[in-house]
Chains A and B, each alone.
Chain A
């Protein structure tokens, strides 16, 4: 036994400000914790509220009805695709609902798990990441509703649908990147969380959920795509409904998403060291 120990080199070195070379390796090593925390969040969420699942369906459906009436009947906005207006709204509602859920969940995730942060070590990145996963389940449920709507309207989805995972990933990355930043800020400034519902509310109207982004004139299109959700929502409509895609503006959204992600990770890693002291 003693000989064994002699052979071991220092496997853990704890020092101030040590840029942990092992961080990403650790992240991989703790993947089981990531699975189990995601599983916990999902399980608890649907255990606590019987209507939890129902609620995640009712909300986007009702919003879709209202938006359809508001933007199609009253504002009489254009729909360049050949899908019914309600379908177009719901196809945009899918990623938006996912994004806003993921953002709210992840931005409060560190505070919600403060008992873990002050008691055990693991790469903290796991917490916001696993909280975003929960929203994927909601997205799955909404997607089933979407399929039912296709049946109802007798609409055949485009073959582009096979590319849908790519855009889900993009929405995920976008929510995760921004969520990382917000949750780290939340640890330091607790009242920041009051701003998040406002961002989500505001975003719903700024993003092309109730209308098609083609109503934005070409002159402003690139600027409009600085909102990364524009690319995601356009992508969803391209996949599901076969709507025309503005690829140049899509690339802008992708670029912005990557910037958000990198900045989110950078800021999170910078603040991570002091989480246990501040929380």
Chain B
């Protein structure tokens, strides 16, 4: 069968400037830099180093009509960049993509929703943004409203919607797109469990029964295995594996078991013992009250002279707004680590509410002085389900635990 999408030798590079952290340039800075150059005061501008970063490198694959392709990879592997190029939001640096047919991309639910406009108005606005014609939207209008279950609030501004209603409406519009090729980025992780099921069902309908080609990104390998028949595994911007979804998924899990040295940001201590790597062993199925398994790989740095024969680790969990919501200390259990081992493993009962979290880890010596502290080294996602499969009930609190009730 001829391919419907042909990606050949696709590369995309970004220039990272190590000088400023701002995401944009200020004219003020440009002017003052130019002025400095003119007067060339002592220090030249040698501290601006620029680095080329390849988000994608030589990516090639083909998609056949009716394929449901899962694009898998860790954060920063290049998945989003690939989707952005496919949806023509940004241009590749080299290489090309050829596509047959209309493409609709869904990189976010509710793109362009305006809070001041009513549900009805937003359906038309969002539909137009996603590439639907007015006639198309009219044709599907009732189905969209029905699917979103918002009939009563159709003429209420969406700023008064609950977040669940908002998400339902947004997904409903997207679900009624009718392109030959659909590109979807992690949009199923919204709403309550019941609605997620409905979305999943719809996605399945669109891809399996209507024979449409779907490119799909998600961190949820379980969902991917269910929905997709093909997989493309990206790692460091390169294709590691392409083929059927099952081997692709297992190749993905293999990445996590490899232990190679990574550059972490060490923010405290003398690093006589260094944390070389922190791995979350079950990144794809962290549920509430479920298991959270973490391994820390470390090694002593003999050149530092100072020796520690016993020390203990700690973990900090940051939420998306950068607050520490949970800390775990090894010393609380009375156990210590030493240099006879190169790694320490901990299994926690996850008490974090669904969402994205970032882990930091550190080492204390016996007198509670820092030996090392690596900042924000891994990101993981807590799924909106309880251990056992019950859906999250949108309860309050950043953490939740069970307690001993009598």
Inter-chain CA distance A115–B131, complex, in Å, is 16
Considering the complex, which residues of chain A in the window 239-279 have a beta carbon less than 8 Å from any beta carbon of chain B? 273-274, 276-279
Please tell me which one of the listed residues A14, A48, A187, A276 contacts residue B96 in the complex, with CB atoms under 8 A apart: A14
- Stretch among A39-47, A55-63, A219-227 lining the B interface: A39-47
Inter-chain CA distance A44–B113, complex, in Å, is 12
The answer on a CB contact under 8 Å between B94 and A36 is: no
How many A-B pairs fall under 8 Å by CB?
A: 130
The answer on a CB contact under 8 Å between B65 and A40 is: no
Please tell me which one of the listed residues B84, B99, B114, B129 contacts residue A276 in the complex, with CB atoms under 8 A apart: B84
The answer on a CB contact under 8 Å between A9 and B100 is: yes
Tell me, yes or no, whether A119 is within 8 Å of chain B by CB. Answer: yes
Please tell me which one of the listed residues B28, B94, B129 contacts residue A120 in the complex, with CB atoms under 8 A apart: B129
The answer on a CB contact under 8 Å between A190 and B98 is: no
The answer on a CB contact under 8 Å between B25 and A118 is: no
Inter-chain CA distance A14–B2, complex, in Å, is 18
Inter-chain CA distance A27–B90, complex, in Å, is 17
Tell me, yes or no, whether B164 is within 8 Å of chain A by CB. Answer: no
Minimum distance in angstroms from B144 CB to a CB of chain A: 16
* Range for the number of chain B residues in contact with chain A: 35 or more
Interface size on A, residues (CB 8 A): 44
Minimum distance in angstroms from A120 CB to a CB of chain B: 6
Tell me, yes or no, whether A6 is within 8 Å of chain B by CB. Answer: yes
Given contacts A5-B101, A6-B2, contact A121 B87 (CB under 8 A): yes
The answer on a CB contact under 8 Å between B105 and A121 is: yes
Please tell me which one of the listed residues B28, B97, B101, B125 contacts residue A36 in the complex, with CB atoms under 8 A apart: B125
- Stretch among B116-124, B249-257, B318-326 lining the A interface: B116-124
- By a CB distance below 8 angstroms, the chain A residues around B27 are 189, 191-192
Given contacts A5-B101, A12-B99, A13-B97, contact A120 B26 (CB under 8 A): no
Inter-chain CA distance A121–B96, complex, in Å, is 17
Inter-chain CA distance A157–B131, complex, in Å, is 45
A1-42 interface bits toward B, Cβ cutoff 8 Å, 1 = contact, 0 = none: 110011011111111111000000000000011001100100
Tell me, yes or no, whether A196 is within 8 Å of chain B by CB. Answer: no
Chain B residue with Cβ nearest A34: B128
Inter-chain CA distance A16–B95, complex, in Å, is 7
The answer on a CB contact under 8 Å between B85 and A1 is: no
Given contacts A14-B91, A16-B94, A33-B128, contact A190 B26 (CB under 8 A): yes
Show 5 residue pairs from A and B whose CB-CB distance is below 8 angstroms, ordered by the A residue.
A10-B6, A33-B129, A119-B108, A120-B112, A277-B90
Using CB atoms and an 8 Å cutoff, list the residues of chain A in contact with chain B: 1-2, 5-6, 8-18, 32-33, 36-37, 40, 43-44, 47-48, 115-122, 187-192, 273-274, 276-279
